[in-house]
Structure 1
Amino acid sequence: MVKRLLVLILLIQLNAEAQSSALTVGDSLYANGNYSKAIKAYEKHSSQNQVYGKIAKAYLAIGNNGKALENYKKGVEANPEDALIKFEYAKLLLRSKQYKNASDLFEELIYIDYKNPNYHYQKGVVLEKLKDSTFLNRYLTAYQLDQTHQNAIFKIAKYYLIRRKHLASHKYIDKGLESYPENVELISLKAQNYYHQDYQNEAKLWFKKLLELGEESEFIHEKLSILFAKNSYYKEAIFHRKKVLNYNPYDATSMFVIGTYYERLNDFKTAEEFIRKSLKLQDVSLNKEYAQLGRILNRQEKYKEAIKAFQKAVKEDPTDTFTRFSIIFTKEQFYADKEAIIKLYEDFIAKYKDDKISRFAEMHLKELKEKNFLKKD
Structure 2
Amino acid sequence: MKLFFWFLCFVFTLNVNAQNLKEKADDFYANGNFSKAIETYKSLKNLDDVYDDIAKANIAIGNYGEALVNYEKAIKANTDNLLLQYEFAKLLTKTKNYNEANRLFTNLIVSDSLNPNYYYELGVVLEKQKDTTALLQFNKTFKLDDTHQKAIFKIAKYHLMKRSFIDAHGFIDKGLESYENNVELISLKAQTYYYQEYYTHAVVWFKKLLELGEKSEFIHEKLSLSYAQNSDYEDAIYHRKQALKYNPNDANSMLVIGAYYERLSDFEKAEEYISRALKIKDQSLSDEYQNLGTVLNRQKKYEKAIKTFQKSLKEDPNNLMSEFFLLRTKDEFYADLDSKIKLYEQFIAKHKTSYFVKYAEKRLKELKQEKFLEED
> Which band: TM-score by shorter chain?
over 0.9
- Matched residues in 1 for 2:143 and 2:372: separation? 84
SS at match of 1:47: coil
Q: Counterpart in 1 of 2:194?
A: 195
2:268 paired with 1:273: no
User: 2:351: which partner in 1?
Assistant: 352
Query: How far apart are the structure 1 equivalents of 2:130 and 2:48?
Result: 36
Following the alignment from structure 2 to structure 1, what is the Cα–Cα distance between the partners of residues 76 and 355?
78
- Count the aligned residue pairs: 376
Aligned to 1:65: 64
Deviation at 1:187, TM superposition (A): 0.7
Mapped to 1, the partners of 2:28 and 2:333 lie a distance apart of 83
One-letter amino acid of the counterpart of residue 175, structure 1: K
Structure 1 stretches lacking a partner, 5+ long: none
Asked if 1:292 corresponds to 2:291, the answer is yes
- TM-score scaled by structure 2? 0.96
After TM superposition, where is structure 1 displaced by more than 4 Å over at least 4 residues in a row? Answer: none
Name the counterpart of 1:325.
Answer: 324
Matched, 1:80 2:79: yes
Equivalent-residue separation in structure 1 for 2:39 and 2:246 (angstroms): 46
Equivalents in 1 of 2:264, 2:113: separation in Å? 62
Aligned equivalent of 2:225: 226
Give the distance between the partners of 2:196 and 2:334, measured in 1 at CA: 50
- 1:211-245: CA deviations, max 9, x gaps? 12221111111111112122222111111111112
1:81 is displaced (CA, Å) by 1.5
- Partner SS for 1:356: coil
1:125 match: 124
Alignment partner, residue 241 of structure 1: 240
Counterpart residue number, 1:52: 51
> What is the CA distance between 1:40 and its match in structure 2?
2.0
Question: How big is the shift at 1:5?
Answer: 2.7
- Counterpart mapping for 1:35-46 below 5 A: 35-46=34-45
- Secondary structure of the 2:197 match is coil
Other-structure match for 2:151 = 152
2:185 is matched with 186
Q: Tell me if 1:252 matches 2:251.
A: yes
Deviation at 1:355, TM superposition (A): 2.0
Distance in 2 between the 1:329 and 1:37 partners?
A: 79
Q: Which residue of 2 aligns with 1:21?
A: 20
Match of 2:315 in 1: 316
- TM-score, normalised relative to structure 1: 0.96
Which SS does the other structure have where 1:143 is aligned? helix
Q: Does 1:210 align with 2:209?
A: yes
In structure 2, C-alpha distance between the alignment counterparts of 1:223 and 1:39, rounded to whole Å? 47
Letter in 1 for 2:201: E
| Letter paired with 1:267 | D
Deviation (angstroms), 1:201: 0.9
Q: Distance in 1 between matches of 2:325 and 2:89?
A: 66
How far 1:376 sits from its partner (Å)?
A: 2.5
Output the CA distance in 1 between the equivalents of 2:83 and 2:271: 64
Percentage of identical aligned residues: 53
Alpha-carbon distance in 2 for matches of 1:363, 1:330: 16
1:87-114 C-alpha deviation (Å, 9 max, x unpaired): 1111111111111111111111111111
Pairwise CA RMSD of aligned residues? 1.4
CA distance in 2, matches of 1:173, 1:272: 43
Partner of 2:8: 9
